[in-house]
Structure 1
């Protein structure tokens, strides 16, 4: 039979190192956290060959006493906690007492430190545990060389020097964002790559993420009891193809938490579609007893004691910030240059001669219905009311001026002065010139109105002649099984033959949609997912598509009252700064920026 034996201490440490020391970046993270816990105000990082050959961190922290140096290299030795109560309310970056021992078991390690009241410094290494006198003005220097020199199998898994340095740079940036009050510097192969002076959170965020992010970001601050969320969230216009600009911290510790990620996805779900990812720098502060950080040796995973409350707090805080109305956004509007770049073709939706597309009449009908107007005019006349007929329904069309008022006070987006190529509305406000993408703006307005109506019991439009279309046996079976669900959504659907379905009613706001295509998509969703999930999770995507098709098209000339009505609707609509696909709907060009274009005052 196999014999049970106690493992050697060296092997135990090397096994533990497999959890803590994955690559040079893991070493850098642990050592930077130790420097932060030591109260350092200045930290310098020096790397050679991506940190594989050498990694050196020097700080001006409190230092380590002579009789504590050798103990620092032992497993389960730490100055951060001493009891279970301490573990349940950890307030430091490190606490496990494993990192230095794990590093020393797989790399040549030296620690030189001088306590603030000591006459000189002392040095220990993974081999020489007896402290030796050394020269150092103050603080601590940790040198780690030849990572995995004694475990060549692990060393083979390391990537190129450039790749490993890239991971180290990511760790450096994460910690730098969390500690703006600490000056940091990182160099590679003798070259300084980044030097950050001590400052405030805004300055540090700008240094790490750049001016482009700050131009497209909104500051966030929310508090509720002992919970506090602060930082910056980007508008959809700054969306990225990957998650490289997502930083979330819990009590100053960078974490990747599924609960938080879900809350943020939900907050952006209404304004960012497709495979794009938002950018953010967010700091969640709460009672340390409310979060368990002892989940994984890397300490990037946490467990909240009140997970549901945290989720809702983060979700609502980000949603409110992104839903700031136009009135508040105008004063902080970025200059036109911030939106420079190629224009997406599908944003224009230009109508080609001879092709069918929804006309502005559909928007007029949807807008009037969403404000509580009865579709009686549709039933009487057989078609939606025209834009001109809205004057009888909406007072804004009666009162909107046909000439520019003497003042734009009270109208953040100002008043229309022209339309450019049937695509953009030009308006004058107190700051200068406003450019509006009329299709994108219209799309957002329609989308929010459709949502507001369908949150209650949707109005139903009976069809004089049922819409009959060919259907597969699966579609017919799904329609019969989900008849009650479809009816609650406003669809009266029944089999009309062996291979046909008949639709006798649809939601009033969708009366002009392609009934067959809409029903086929809905039946496919109901077939693959539970009905409750479809209604809750897929509804917004369907509404976004319908709003896009119902919005006013390019090359459609609008009258001045129509343009002004569009501006007023934008001011009254949440998230009107971007369309359903995350593109901006308007930009502000101030008088100062206009003057620069013509060199006025120079």
Structure 2
């Protein structure tokens, strides 16, 4: 077969396949060019999902006739003045974006510089450039892309429906709008909802306002600011509370030097930082911005620049994981603001259904007015009151560093963390306990003082201006988990040798899996070994589990290790899963009656423990209802 040179138009179409794989890619390229032109207002219009029409209009610096003609030539750019590929500070540099678009569409460009008396226009029809002509045009540039991929039907065939393509284009614009909050972005489409993001003020408040415009106002109420710097790399942005999680990772927005990226290193660091706080299969919402010297990052790894490569990947990962973990730990006594108010909304619905006078929407909080649209069983999963006890006016001015023995929950003892056996909880408590509890003032402690136990599962505690409802098992499970983590880190896990080994029968695959993990389990005080086909011998256990069911623990560990192996979970995550399983088996169970002193001890330990806002599975451990909201519920407001 004879080798021949390809036609220039065909070459451009091949290049377009790498650069412009769908309408959203063309929109991204054109909007990035507008941002590089210092436009303060950018308007995007789509028809037919971008296949029929893409129009991007900006008020940037514009182009002269000479620049306009060169802009559609291959390998021509204004964004690489010194020829250094590793010092790219602009977004749209490529050298073939416009000619690639022009090779697979009908491309029309109209532009005028501020100093020019008139504008200039140029058309490119499927790779064939026309002559530049004068025209009327306000300052800036307008680019229209029509009949995208008409000459490449194979590419057109693989595109999704108009609505899906329009949504992808809208997402591309939203990501760029998030990175540039001081500029106005408008988006209009015949196939999906549009938006108009007005300019925001500079600084963190403006950034949060723009992020809230994209992710919704609820994100603003559930956001934690992040700010860190290490060796010239600056990290800023906002992350969502762990109890405000999502079913997928689409609400994770990551930027490097203002460029939206989907980088495995960054997403892996986010996953590592949140792994202690999220349920399986859930993802946090966040917007993080990394800034560094362009020399420290290579943006030319991928034609679409969706992936980047850092010179020092360990430094970037360490910065991200450390900053996010520190932020989460400092705010783990704060939880989402929806739970209590959603509960009020559900109560209002129930009251109305029973024929009682419904609470007027005007008297209810905004979150409560929205509550009826939510499934009734999901209100606990949605989170709990937005309250940081460390900032609460009820916080003790001089909290004791070493609480009294009767108040502190201990790791040792015949029952979990010092919970003593009692004949009954509050449901059967003596009048003395009730009077002692009533005499305590809820003003002294952030989580208040215990007043009752509901269904032997939930603790009711009165606070300064409302009450807290605590899930005793979820809260205690988190406390045990944090204690076990500390013991593991200090290598001080106490163990007990069993007089007679406990033999547990298991499928051979589970036995093999547990034997392979024996050294890891031994670090936690659990010593196991094979005991013939389909059997496992347990010789030592952590002392905190000495009163628990060893076979039940082994079966749960086997199931957890099997799930981790299927998901290719790294060793560090496996260790945390083992600890979580231990904590679950060691925690006070729902249905267990607690005395007033036991309940108060649990509340005090929660106040001292980072991360007590939710259990190991990411579920909230408590909600708080404000007195004012309760009064409005009863029509007293």
Normalized against structure 2, the TM-score is what?
0.80
1:590 to partner: Cα distance: 3.0
Q: Check the 8 A contact 2:120/2:133 in 1, yes or no.
A: yes
1:150 counterpart SS class: coil
State the shift of 1:334 in Å: 5.5
Cα distance change of structure 1 residues 105 and 438 upon mapping to structure 2, 3 Å threshold:
same
Q: Report what 1:547 is aligned to.
A: 583
Alignment-derived partner of residue 477 in structure 2: 443
Q: How does 1:188-337 map to 2 (within 5 A)?
A: 188-189=189-190, 193-199=194-200, 200-325=206-331, 329=334, 336-337=340-341
Contact kept? 1:34, 1:93, Cα under 8 Å:
yes
Tell me by how many angstroms 1:193 deviates.
1.9
Question: CA offset at residue 241 of structure 1?
Answer: 1.7
Contact 2:243 2:278 in 1 (8 A): no
CA distance in 1, matches of 2:284, 2:17: 33
Aligned length: 560
Q: Secondary structure at the match of 1:267?
A: helix
Q: 1:156 maps to what in 2?
A: 157
Q: Is the 8 A contact 1:111 1:140 kept in 2?
A: yes
Q: Compute the displacement of 1:538 (Å).
A: 1.1
The counterpart of 1:387, out of the listed 403, 411, 419, is: 419
Contact 2:112 2:138 in 1 (8 A): yes
Question: 1:543 is paired with a residue of what secondary structure?
Answer: helix
Distance 1:486 1:60 in 2: 63
In structure 1, what is the equivalent of residue 594 of structure 2? 558
Cα distance, 1:305 vs structure 2: 0.5
User: Aligned-pair distance for 1:430?
Assistant: 3.5
Q: How does 1:527-538 map to 2 (within 5 A)?
A: 536-538=572-574
CA distance in 1, matches of 2:557, 2:146: 61
1:148 alignment partner, SS class: coil
Partner Cα separation in structure 1 for residue 119 and residue 25 of structure 2:
27
- 5 Å-filtered alignment, 1:96-111, equals 96-111=94-109
Deviations 1:517-557, CA, capped at 9 Å, x for gaps:
5446667959997xxx8863312112223322332233333
Secondary structure at the residue paired with 2:582?
A: helix
Rounded to whole Å, the distance in 2 between the matches of 1:454 and 1:295 is 40
Q: In the aligned structure 1, how far is the partner of 2:507 from the partner of 2:191? A: 69
> 8 Å contact 1:120–1:135 — kept in the other structure?
yes
Alignment partner, residue 51 of structure 2: 52
What is the Cα deviation at residue 418 of structure 1? 2.9
Q: Contact conserved, 2:416 with 2:586, CA < 8 A, in 1?
A: no
Maintained 8 Å contact 1:123/1:132: yes
- Computed over aligned residues only, the root mean square deviation of the Cα atoms, in angstroms, reads 3.3
1:463 pairs with 498, 501, 521, which one? 498
CA distance in 1, matches of 2:250, 2:562: 35
Rate the CA distance shift 1:465–1:290 in 2: closer, same or farther, 3 A: same
Question: Displacement of 1:385 after TM fit?
Answer: 9.0
Contact 1:181–1:198 under 8 Å retained in 2 = yes
After superposition, the C-alpha distances for 1:447-490 in whole angstroms (9 at most, x for unaligned) are 11122223314211122332123466677777878766655543
The one of 500, 505, 508 equivalent to 2:543 is 508
Structure 2 portions without partners, runs of 5+: 201-205, 344-370, 382-404, 423-432
CA separation in 2, counterparts of 1:497 and 1:116? 85
Partner of 1:18: 17
SS at match of 1:125: strand
The residue matched to 2:324 in structure 1 has which SS? helix
Cα distance in 2 for partners of 1:385, 1:137 equals: 73
**Alpha-carbon deviation of 1:191?**
8.9
Q: Distance in 2 between matches of 1:32 and 1:38?
A: 10
| Contact persistence 1:325–1:571 (CA under 8 A) | no
Report what 1:142 is aligned to: 143
**What is the distance in 1 between the residues matched to 2:190 and 2:563?**
59
Tell me what 1:350 maps to.
none
Q: Is the 8 A contact 2:236 2:290 kept in 1?
A: yes
Match of 2:2 in 1: 3
Alpha-carbon separation, structure 1, partners of 2:486 and 2:38 = 52
> Cα distance 1:582–1:179, how it changes in 2: closer, same or farther (>3 A)?
same
Gaps of 5+ in 1: 348-366, 391-397
Is residue 462–residue 468 contact of structure 2 (8 Å, CA) maintained in 1?
Answer: yes
Native 8 Å contact 1:415 1:427 kept in 2: yes
Partner residue of 1:427?
Answer: 461
